[in-house]
Amino acid sequence: MARVLTPRAEDFPRWYQDLINKARMADNGPVRGTMVIRPAAYAIWERMQAEMDARIKEAEAQNAYFPLFIPESYLSREAQHVEGFSPELAVVTHAGGKELSEPIVVRPTSETIFGEFMAKWIDSYRDLPLLLNQWANVVRWELRPRTFLRTTEFLWQEGHTAHATEADARDYARRILHSVYEDFMANLLAIPVVPGRKTKGERFAGATNTMTLEAMMGDGKALQMGTSHELGQNFAKAFDITYTSQAGSVEHAWTTSWGSTTRMIGGLIMVHGDDNGLRLPPRLAPVQAQIMVVKAGEGVTEAAIKLRDELKAAGVRTKLDDRADIPFGRRAVDAELQGIPVRVEVGPRDLAAGNAVVARRTDGSKTPVALGEVAATVAAALEADQQALFDSALAHREERTVDVKTLGEALEAAQTGWARLPWSAVGPEGEAEANGKAVTVRCLVNPDGSVPESDDSPDVQAILARAY
């Protein structure tokens, strides 16, 4: 059989695009930099949404929806914010056949419009904390688009909160980073991430602190999977978000924002994919087990239907493929490309022996299993393969992370993986030098793996890498 995908080791970028095309995940949109998310990938995004949304609600944030169009004057109120986003803005100057009296920005992020309405809704300390989230699309004009990773329009969730004290805001931003994002990425996506602090040069425009979650891709590059920002009182002062304290004084609130995007789908592909396609972590997979009729025969379809019903009853997301008129090999390749964790294959010979074949996507194994034991076997395989994917990704990251002492050594190590060294050996000047060589400081971490309280924390380490 001719190979379906370019081998990863031969050409990683081409492999990535091949997989997206052949697995029917996305197409390029009609406007440069946009994408059409096809059902196979949108089903993954829906699962991501559901799992993330549950965690966000557990953190006591409520969902709302704010307009796509934002008056340009809103962005101008926070100088660092507008300066940071100006190159990426899409601006509407005409509508209804007329020139607008004020240009309208197509939402690049929503700190400003959330700030405007927080100022209306917050009066006293009793209104705090105000914890909001929205699921939406945003537009950032992308010069070098790449499907899922960098697109002009993408889908995301963005949280915005207001608090009475700096400590409350700081604690909440960290709660989101760890209890929502890190937990979701490790336990659902099976992607080990490094939580850390962004340097001043990499900080979100208008934030006082940006925290990130960085993951290593299959080619050793880094991908920022999500961020959580402390905004201090910058936006509160720009939008007059004030409250009357319990003591009767008028105070500015402290705000946060945080977000994760469809970029996570790209990360999922690049961490877990192999030369046969995507490998979906079972807890995330829209279809965990596909029952496949290998060949039509007496009682085969009926046995397949019974297995489907047993698996569904056991809580396994199951799909029946009884299209015996389509060659089995073609259907099996499609299932592998789309990363379905388990296939249960049923044919006349299997049925005559009282068996079905359980094929596992993660390790490629195929095992005959008695019909009465299929449900238990599949459930055990799903849990084992979830852990196996995480363990493999973690081992890959550890193997390609090098501890070094100098910036020169870090720049060399970053050509094939990550470099870790004291931040004091890099500093802002070294960071600028690295940036000139397409290497960035992905984050700062403490020796114990925790997030530093400041760039000047003792013994803080920097992780340098090339990145998407």
> End-to-end distance of the chain based on CA atoms, in angstroms?
33
For residues 452 and 325, give the distance between their C-alpha atoms in angstroms, rounded to a whole number.
59
H helices of 405-462, where? 407-413, 427-435
For residues 308 and 290, give the distance between their C-alpha atoms in angstroms, rounded to a whole number.
8
421 DSSP β-pair partners: 462
**Size of the chain in residues:** 468
278, part of any domain: no
252, part of any domain: yes
389, part of any domain: no
By the 8 A CB rule, do 153 and 138 touch?
A: yes
By the 8 A CB rule, do 256 and 159 touch?
A: yes
Q: Please check whether residues 157 and 81 belong to one and the same domain.
A: yes
Q: Please check whether residues 428 and 300 belong to one and the same domain.
A: no
**Contacts of residue 172, Cβ cutoff 8 Å, sequence gap at least 6:** 59, 129, 131, 161, 163, 256
Q: Please check whether residues 259 and 319 belong to one and the same domain.
A: no
Q: Please check whether residues 216 and 355 belong to one and the same domain.
A: no
Pairing status of strand 153-163 against strand 401-403: unpaired
Q: Please check whether residues 72 and 198 belong to one and the same domain.
A: yes
**Contacts of residue 194, Cβ cutoff 8 Å, sequence gap at least 6:** 213, 214, 215, 442, 443, 445, 449, 463
Q: Please check whether residues 266 and 299 belong to one and the same domain.
A: no
What pLDDT sits at residue 2? 53
129 preceded by cis ω (within 30°)?
yes
398, part of any domain: no
Q: Please check whether residues 133 and 227 belong to one and the same domain.
A: yes
Strands (DSSP E) found in 282-398: 289-293, 318-321, 342-346, 355-360, 366-370
Amino acid at site 454? S
Secondary structure letter of residue 450 according to DSSP: P
Joined together, the tokens standing for residue 431 give: 């960071």
Q: Please check whether residues 109 and 76 belong to one and the same domain.
A: yes
Q: Please check whether residues 39 and 70 belong to one and the same domain.
A: yes
Q: Please check whether residues 296 and 235 belong to one and the same domain.
A: no
Joined together, the tokens standing for residue 362 give: 């993660």
- Give the domain extent around 308: 289-382
318, part of any domain: yes
Domain count, the chain: 3
For residues 151 and 28, give the distance between their C-alpha atoms in angstroms, rounded to a whole number.
10
Question: Average pLDDT by consecutive 10-residue portion of the chain (468 residues)?
Answer: 84 98 97 96 98 98 98 87 84 96 96 97 98 97 94 98 98 98 98 98 95 98 98 96 98 98 98 98 98 94 97 98 95 97 97 97 97 98 98 98 98 98 97 98 97 92 98
Q: Please check whether residues 156 and 305 belong to one and the same domain.
A: no
Rounded to an integer, what is the distance from CA 452 to the centroid of its chain? Answer: 23
Joined together, the tokens standing for residue 425 give: 């050996």
By the 8 A CB rule, do 112 and 75 touch?
A: yes
To the question of pTM greater than 0.85 for the whole model, the response is yes
Whichever domain contains 163, its CATH number is 3.30.930.10
Q: Please check whether residues 61 and 169 belong to one and the same domain.
A: yes
Domain termination residue (choose one: 239, 272, 305):
272
By the 8 A CB rule, do 228 and 175 touch?
A: no
405, part of any domain: no
By the 8 A CB rule, do 126 and 253 touch?
A: no
Domain termination residue (choose one: 218, 245, 272):
272
Secondary structure letter of residue 341 according to DSSP: S
4, part of any domain: no
For residues 164 and 167, give the distance between their C-alpha atoms in angstroms, rounded to a whole number.
9
243, part of any domain: yes
Nearest to 350 by CA among 310, 311, 292: 292
**Residue 105 burial (CB count, 10 A):** 24
Domain termination residue (choose one: 223, 245, 272):
272
Whichever domain contains 377, its CATH number is 3.40.50.800
- Indicate the Cα dihedral angle 428, 430, 433, 437, nearest 10°: -120
